[in-house]
Structure 1
Amino acid sequence: MLATLDSVLLTDEAEELGKMISESEIAFQYRQAKSKLKNDREAQRLIGEFIKLKDLYEEVQRFGRYHPDFLSITTRVREAKRDMDMHQTVAEYRQAEREMEDLLNEVSKLIAGEVSPMIKVPTGNPFFDKQGCGGGCGSGGSCGCS
């Protein structure tokens, strides 16, 4: 494939956009929160405990309510998840992660919108996923585009 001047310029612009995002305050806060989480022994202990219990839970789920430890494992998993989620460092990381994801979703929507308003951008957020085209244009369903 031959590289045209347009594709080279577009690649340069994409690299510049990536650099701007990487150097943003949101990205800085995300990296800082990630580092803090990685170095917090209590948070790592809670995460490890949750992962172990989650593995047990998946094993119990194979049998469902008929497994003798179904209720106790289910309760322990919920408690471990709550303990992990309530830990300050984990909560700060989750918030920073959410803000970073929101920034990337917004940039993706803007780029897609500049190409065509019909382009769908899966954001993982039901509010944004339902805006614009409803998914019927190319899937054989009724079109929900405005």
Structure 2
Amino acid sequence: MLRQSEPFERYKESKKRLEQDQQAISLLRRFVKLRERYDEVQRFGKYHPDYHEVIQEMMEVKRDVDLNDIIAEYKQAEAELESLLNDISLSIAGAVSPSIKVPTGDPFFDRGCSGGCSTGGACGCH
């Protein structure tokens, strides 16, 4: 049923469009390459000789990635599919036991025992 759902179909189609768009692929490759330089510069912070240059370039490339319609469509479809998978996980876990911890990627809405049963049952698990 999941593979026949609308979110899965949108994800599959947007991924296909992304993989066929040379401009988007080039932009993502540039971002990944720059991300490696950015990570190196971050190790030394403002003391790295290329710090300001790399930070500025990273902001520009990130903006270009965020404004690319094909990439934005893919990210949106990916988020919708992830939301559906989270809902399914919560439903399955809840059917087994209400104390099962299900990571949803959102710390405000993750539920279950955060400290395990060593907390003396304060979280409600028994």
Query: Partner residue of 1:144?
Result: 123
Task: Give the distance between the partners of 2:122 and 2:79, measured in 1 at CA.
Answer: 31
Q: Work out whether 1:62 is the aligned partner of 2:7.
A: no
Query: Partner residue of 1:84?
Result: 65
Matched residue type, 1:88: D
Matched residue type, 1:137: G
Q: Deviations over 1:42-79 (max 9, x none)?
A: 11111111111111111112211110110110111121
Preserved CA contact (<8 Å) 1:135 1:144: yes
How far does residue 136 in structure 1 lie from its aligned partner after superposition? 2.6
Aligned match for 1:43, one of 9, 21, 24: 24
* C-alpha distance 66-139 of structure 1, shift in aligned 2 (>3 A): farther
Task: Give the distance between the partners of 2:60 and 2:25, measured in 1 at CA.
Answer: 16
* C-alpha distance 139-39 of structure 1, shift in aligned 2 (>3 A): farther
Preserved CA contact (<8 Å) 1:137 1:143: no
Preserved CA contact (<8 Å) 2:99 2:113: no
Q: Work out whether 1:29 is the aligned partner of 2:10.
A: yes
Query: Partner residue of 2:114?
Result: 135
Query: Partner residue of 1:15?
Result: none
Matched residue type, 2:25: Q
Moved over 2 A (4+): 136-146
* C-alpha distance 142-64 of structure 1, shift in aligned 2 (>3 A): farther
SS at match of 1:33: helix
SS at match of 2:102: coil
Give the number of the structure with larger relative contact order, counting CA–CA contacts within 8 Å between residues 6 or more apart: 2
* C-alpha distance 145-55 of structure 1, shift in aligned 2 (>3 A): same
Q: How does 1:8-19 map to 2 (within 5 A)?
A: none
**Where in structure 2 are there 5+ consecutive unaligned residues?**
none
**Where in structure 1 are there 5+ consecutive unaligned residues?**
1-19
